[in-house]
């Protein structure tokens, strides 16, 4: 079923479109369209659904790609080639994420068993008035509008172009035993990206020749080359990566700031000093006639550090993770809670950048214990000792800490993406 907004056959453009370019001094009126092949299985991604439907910074990859082309005023029509059994899913996704007036620009085509077949099906679905055709992998959602413009401009100038980037690394030919056979001269070697585009009649000619010869290529340029049609290079962009394997998704998420490289958190805690409790600070038991009151061991320094870590992760606070109504945490060694909190950071791929802690305590003198506390906290965070700095200060007998009624602690933490 095709919803009212998304058309799958007849196409009536909402506006007549004049592109801004000049070809041979004549004002060009060519209409541009793009085909987005999105019918692959994403086998190398090893996910439970094709990669184009996975979320990237809060949006499915396919939607990001569609929006990139919708933003470009020169693109008159977008044909998305999708697997037959995904038709309804894609329709619903588009309706949820794209405003109704823009849906008019989008057509769905039935994808095929290979990328080439999917693109060809998209090509056959293009409205007749589209004369300039781009093809862009749905799995390249980081495409920037500048590159789209460069490719359109390139097609007008050269007839057929692809976005490509020069190879930076030294190239090795390797045999089946993973042994180098030869170093390949990388001069003039480029990695092909998309968009790849051509004047419609050139792409049509390339398809006819490919069909005649039974030729299959992994991109449009291969077909154009096979037909003897020159294809020029437009400077691509490293960030215009194809999401192919799980690691690519992680990189794309970092590029979009979904998982920032650093995160900062602050923690504060205070506990009352009472008789008949041990005084435990930073995992160290300190000889003193009074100790801190609390449900756990009331280690105010470890608690401040835990709160700073949880804060950096956006994971609330210590009370949410270790409620004082839970008997499991009665008198517990807070270093175990710290281990757990830092484990959450490690699970999200963060390591300790550094932590700076201040204990506010009138008595006892803490200087002799600071180094051991540093060891204990660094150990619980599985981090080098140099990442933890602990200071102790008094408030010159002012306030509740100055009167010896309690001890408080501040912690600031910087977590770094490992």
Q: What does the binding site for ligand CTP look like in residue numbers (CB under 6 A)?
A: 37-44, 50, 52, 81, 111-115, 118, 137-139, 242, 244
Q: Which is nearer to ligand CTP, 242 or 272 (CB)?
A: 242
User: Closest approach of Cβ 24 to ligand CTP, in Å?
Assistant: 35
Contact criterion met (CB below 8 Å) for 217 and 17: no
Contact 179, 79 (CB under 8 A): no
Question: To the nearest whole angstrom, how small is the minimum distance from the Cβ of residue 135 to ligand CTP?
Answer: 9
CB of residue 62 to ligand CTP, shortest distance in Å: 8
Q: Among ligand CTP, Mg ion, none, what does residue 154 contact (CB within 5–8 Å per kind)?
A: none
Residue 167 CA neighbour count, 13 Å, CB half: 13
Cβ-closest residue to Mg ion? 40
Binders of Mg ion in range 10-49 (CB under 5 A): 40
| Per-residue buried b or exposed e for 79-117, using 16+ beta carbons within 10 Å of the residue's own CB | bbbbbeebbebbbebbeebbeeebbbbbbbbbbbeebbb
Q: How far is the CB of 46 from ligand CTP (least distance, A)?
A: 9
Question: How many other CB atoms are found less than 10 A from the CB of residue 400?
Answer: 16
| CA angle, 294 then 300 then 305, to 5° | 130
Q: Output the residue with the shortest Cβ distance to ligand CTP.
A: 40
Which of ligand CTP, Mg ion, none does residue 52 bind to, with CB < 5 to 8 Å depending on kind? ligand CTP
Say how far apart CA 406 and CA 362 lie, in whole Å: 9
Pairing, β 350-360 against β 160-166: unpaired
- CB-nearer residue toward Mg ion: 113 or 173: 113
Residue 358 interacting entry, from ligand CTP, Mg ion, none, C-beta within 5 to 8 Å by type: none
Question: What CA–CA distances, in Å, run from 410 to 234, 307, 358?
Answer: 54, 10, 5
Nearest-approach distance from CB 241 to ligand CTP, in angstroms: 11
Please tell me the distance from the alpha carbon of residue 153 to that of residue 144, in angstroms, as a whole number: 15
39 interface partner picked from ligand CTP, Mg ion, none, CB below 5 to 8 A per type: ligand CTP
User: Which residues contribute to the site for Mg ion (CB under 5 A)?
Assistant: 40
């Amino acid at each position: 079923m095709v919803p009212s907004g998304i058309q799958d056959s007849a196409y009536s453009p909402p506006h007549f479109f004049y592109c801004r370019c000049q070809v041979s001094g004549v004002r060009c009126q060519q209409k541009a369209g793009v085909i987005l092949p999105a019918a692959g299985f994403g086998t190398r991604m090893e996910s439970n659904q094709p990669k184009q439907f996975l979320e990237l910074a809060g949006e499915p990859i396919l939607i990001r790609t569609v929006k990139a082309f919708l933003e470009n005023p020169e693109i008159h029509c977008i044909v998305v080639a999708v697997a037959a059994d995904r038709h309804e899913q894609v329709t619903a996704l588009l309706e949820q994420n794209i405003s109704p007036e823009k849906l008019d620009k989008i057509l769905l085509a039935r994808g095929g068993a290979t990328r080439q077949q999917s693109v060809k099906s998209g090509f056959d679905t293009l409205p007749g008035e589209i004369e300039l055709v781009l093809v862009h992998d749905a799995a390249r959602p980081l495409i920037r509008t500048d590159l789209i413009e460069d490719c359109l401009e390139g097609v007008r100038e050269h007839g057929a172009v692809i976005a490509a980037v020069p190879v930076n690394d030294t190239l090795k030919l390797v045999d089946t035993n993973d042994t180098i056979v030869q170093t390949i001269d990388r001069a003039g070697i480029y990695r092909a990206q998309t968009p790849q585009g051509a004047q419609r009649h050139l792409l049509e000619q390339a398809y006819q020749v490919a069909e005649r010869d039974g030729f299959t290529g992994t991109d449009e340029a291969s077909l154009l080359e096979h037909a003897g049609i020159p294809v020029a290079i437009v400077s691509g962009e490293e960030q215009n990566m194809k999401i192919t394997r799980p690691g690519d998704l992680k990189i794309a998420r970092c590029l979009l700031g979904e998982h920032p490289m650093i995160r900062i958190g602050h923690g504060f805690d205070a506990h009352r000093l009472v008789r008949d409790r041990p005084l435990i600070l930073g995992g160290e038991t300190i000889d003193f006639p009074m100790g801190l009151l609390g449900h756990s061991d009331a280690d105010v320094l470890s608690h401040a550090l835990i709160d700073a870590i949880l804060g950096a992760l956006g994971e609330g606070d210590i009370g949410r993770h270790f409620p004082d109504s839970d008997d499991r945490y009665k008198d517990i060694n807070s270093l175990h809670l710290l281990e757990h909190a830092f484990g959450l950071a490690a699970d999200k791929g963060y390591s300790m950048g550094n932590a700076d802690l201040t204990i506010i305590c009138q008595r006892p003198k803490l200087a002799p214990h600071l180094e051991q506390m540093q060891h204990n906290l660094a150990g619980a965070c599985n981090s080098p000792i140099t990442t933890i700095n602990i200071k102790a200060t008094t408030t010159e007998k002012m306030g509740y800490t100055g009167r010896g009624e309690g001890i408080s602690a501040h912690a600031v933490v910087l977590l770094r993406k490992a």
